[in-house]
Structure formats: C-alpha cells, structure tokens
Amino acid sequence: MSSSNLTSLSSIEAHTLSEARATLLAWYDDHKRDLPWRDIQNPWATWVSEIMLQQTRVSSVLDYFDRFMTRFPTPHALAEAEWDEVAGYWAGLGYYRRAKNLWRGAREVVERHAGEIPDDPEAVRALTGVGAYTAGAILSIAFGQPAPIVDGNVARVFARLYRIEEEIESAPSQRALWSLAEAWAQGERPGDLNQALMELGATICMPKSPTCLICPLHTRCRVALEADPTALPRKRKKRRALPRESYVVFALRSLEDTPRYWVTKRLGEGLLGGLLALPQRAREPNEAREGTPPDASELAEAWMSWLDDTLGSTSPTYATLRECTWTLEVLERAVEHRFTHKRWVWWVTQVSGAALTELLEALSAHDVGRLMSAAELDQAGLGGPSLKSLRALGAPLRARRGSGT
C-alpha cells in the first residue's frame, strides 16, 4: 500500500467514525458472547482474563479463569501464593511466562499500590507482563478510559476496513493500527468498543472465512465491497529456513534485591566473539526432537557437564556443589537468533537451588566470568542472543537495535 493511504487513515472523519462506533456497539450489545469476565468492573478479572486469552482460545480459557479467580480472587491472594501452586493452576494453558509475569505483577501491585490495581496509564504499564495491549484492556474495560487495544483480531478488522495492504507487522502499519485504535476508543463505552472490535474479528471478520454479509461494518469496509478480504492482512513472507544449531543455556541469577546474572566472555574468534554471553552447552543435533525443549534428563546431563568443565574437580566445593539438588526450569519457547547463514535456538534454563549463592562464589573464584546487574549489562557488550534470553526471563534490559530477530 502506498504511504499516502496510511497517512490518510489518520484523518478519518469524526462523524463517520462516531456513526461506525455506534453501529458496532449496537451489534455488540446484541451479539456478544456471554463470557464470565465481561460486565464486571473488576480490573483484576480483566487483567487475568486478558493474559489468559493471549495466544489462547476463549473456549480453553473458560475453565481456567473461574478456577483461578476462585483461588486467587485478588492480586494480594496471588502475590502471597508460592509459584509452584500458581503454576499448578496454569498447568495446561501453556506459555507459563505469562503466569509468572502475572504473579510478579500482582506482587508489584501489593508492594507499590497497596494491592489496588492503579488506573494511571504509566503505573499500569510499569507492571511486569503488562504491555500496550494489556494496559489498553485494563484501562478501557475496567476503568472506562479511552485507551486503545490492538490484538490480532483488531489488526485484521482494521486491515480490511481501511484496506491496509502493507505488511501488517511493519512499523508503518503498526503505527497506523494503533492510531486507528486510538481514534476508535475516543467516545462512549471505550471498553465495550474495544471488546466489540475483538469480538467482530473473532466471530465475523475471521481470517479464512469472513462472513461479510452479516458484518455490521460491511458497507463501510474498503475491502469487503470490492476485493478478497482474505488477502488481508498481508503477513510478512516466511523467511527461508536456515540451518539451526540448538543450545541449552543456563541463566544463573543471584538472589540479591537487584539480581545479577552470571556471564562469561566468548572467545575472540567465532560468532559474537569477545561479547559477553550466558553459559551454554550445544545440544546434539536430533531431527526427532527439533523444536522441542530439552527434557529433565537432558537438562540435568547438560548442567552436570557444564559444572564439571567450568568448576573443575580442583575446586574445593566441586564435589559438594555437584551433589546438590538443582532446579532447572526451561522456558517453554526457545529464543532464536538469526545470522545470515544460520540460526541459533537457545533453550534458556533458569538454574536455582539452595546452593546457588555458594556456586556463584565458587565460579567467581575461578575467574571464568562474572556477575553483572542489568544496568551493567546494558553498558557492556552483551551478545544479541544473551540479551534476548535475559529479557525473556524478565531482566530489565533495554531493547537494542541490531540485536537480530
């Protein structure tokens, strides 16, 4: 699409929009699905439901939501729970990092806001796991503020309604989508309006089989009347498959208030040579398990092999540390890093255990790396995959241009 079309989207006429908004809200009132998190002005319920709904179908969320809210009816209840119990209530929903971030976010609400979810946009955005989408949902649905939401459904509705032909993931398209969402949210009932846009995407303006004839916005849609709606939104072309190398990567995070992370320097030659990196072990190439996380025994073996090589039997604590019980928690999704000729797939594993502090001391004595805070790492030469890995674990590192995909 020409950039002029994107530019013209920013000047949607107010009266056209206000009519379209009224039409959509009327449709929503008649057709919305009856979902347990709807029609309750409870920011905690909104937060929990919207996190559960990310990457997950409504039908899968239904059972989980009620059980979770019964056990953790407030941020305070979740903040007080042990992680293992929280994980149990999430088991089967997938993408556990969502749950962990929600748990951390709930603790922040207790610490910073006396257990009350704030209605100030900046304070909401500052909570762990709350990005632009979730913040928009909490602010609009629970607090009635005119805050925008763009998720996959809204992006599809807008791409068709306004005929956005540029790749939908591109920066100009994203800017256009968010500014459209902003414009749509200015009016009465912004929370319902946002939900109506999502509902339209989920039930009418579907990816492969849109039912345009019964769409309330049909006559306003720049695509439905004259082109094939399923051609939009245009997705980025799949990149050619690069050979991949898989690694198990160990994140050793100190238990201080401001945690530090154990990093080593890569050898001067080779990819990202000289940069700081998380410790790692190459996985044996194995077609059958391509794309699947290492299981407990593979993790334990890799960990012991790394300990042996790094600490070495000359360390006075070697035998003790080797015998300790370690918890190896691997992220469900690998961190990927592309080079021009290959890609690295990193299975990031958080290491914990009662002897963690002792281990970090022993490692320091060996001078094979050092502990660095997020602030120090921001200044240092941390390689792209390590940066992404630590960010995936929630370390507050700045995003960096040029750190790969």
**Active-site residue set:** 50
We find the least distance from the C-beta atom of residue 26 to ligand ADE, in angstroms, to be 17
135 binds ligand ADE (CB under 6 A): no
> Which position among 86, 198, 223, 335 is part of the footprint of ligand ADE (CB under 6 A)?
198
What is the C-alpha separation between 306 and 281, in angstroms, rounded?
A: 7
Pick 173 or 194: Cβ nearer ligand ADE:
194
Residue 214: CB minimum distance to ligand ADE, A: 18
Residue 95, phi then psi, degrees to nearest 5? 45, 65
CB closer to ligand ADE, 202 vs 356: 202
* Segment interacting with ligand ADE, rule: CB under 6 A, options 195-203, 214-222, 364-372, 396-404: 195-203
Count of residues of this chain found to bind ligand ADE when the rule CB under 6 A is applied: 6
Residue recorded with tokens 């593979």: 298
Residue of the chain from 1, 47, 50, 362 that contacts ligand ADE (CB under 6 A): 50
- Helix spans in 81-170 (H): 83-90, 96-113, 121-125, 132-137, 152-161
Distance CA 150, CA 138 (A): 13
β-strand 327-330 against 335-338: which pairing, if any?
A: unpaired
Cβ contacts of 206 within 8 Å, gap of 6 or more: none
Examine residue 195 and tell whether it contacts ligand ADE (CB under 6 A): yes
**Phi, psi at 395, each rounded to 5°:** -70, 135
- Residue 38 CB, shortest distance to ligand ADE, in Å, is 7
Residue 385: name the closest of 263, 238, 303 by CA: 263
Q: How far is the CB of 53 from ligand ADE (least distance, A)?
A: 4
| Distance of closest approach, residue 50 Cβ to ligand ADE, in angstroms | 5
* Angstrom distance (rounded) from CA 265 to CA 394: 22
CB of 3 or CB of 211, closer to ligand ADE: 211
SS3 of residue 175 by DSSP: helix
By C-beta, is 217 or 359 nearer to ligand ADE?
Answer: 217
Q: Cα separations (Å) of 99 from 57, 89, 130, 289?
A: 16, 9, 12, 26
Does 199 participate in binding ligand ADE (rule CB under 6 A)? yes
Residue 346 is given by DSSP the state: E
Per CB under 6 A, which region of 93-101, 194-202, 237-245, 274-282 contacts ligand ADE? 194-202
Which CB sits closer to ligand ADE, 141 or 362?
141
Give yes or no for residue 200 binding ligand ADE (CB under 6 A). Answer: no
The contact pattern for ligand ADE, residues 82-121, with x = CB under 6 A and - = no contact, is ----------------------------------------
53 near ligand ADE (CB under 6 A): yes
Q: Confirm if 52 and 93 have CB atoms less than 8 A apart.
A: yes
Q: Between 171-185 and 152-161, two packed helices, what is the crossing angle to 10 degrees?
A: 90
Does position 202 interact with ligand ADE (CB under 6 A)? The reply is yes
Residue 36 has what DSSP assignment? Answer: T
Contact positions toward ligand ADE, by CB under 6 A?
50, 53, 195, 198-199, 202
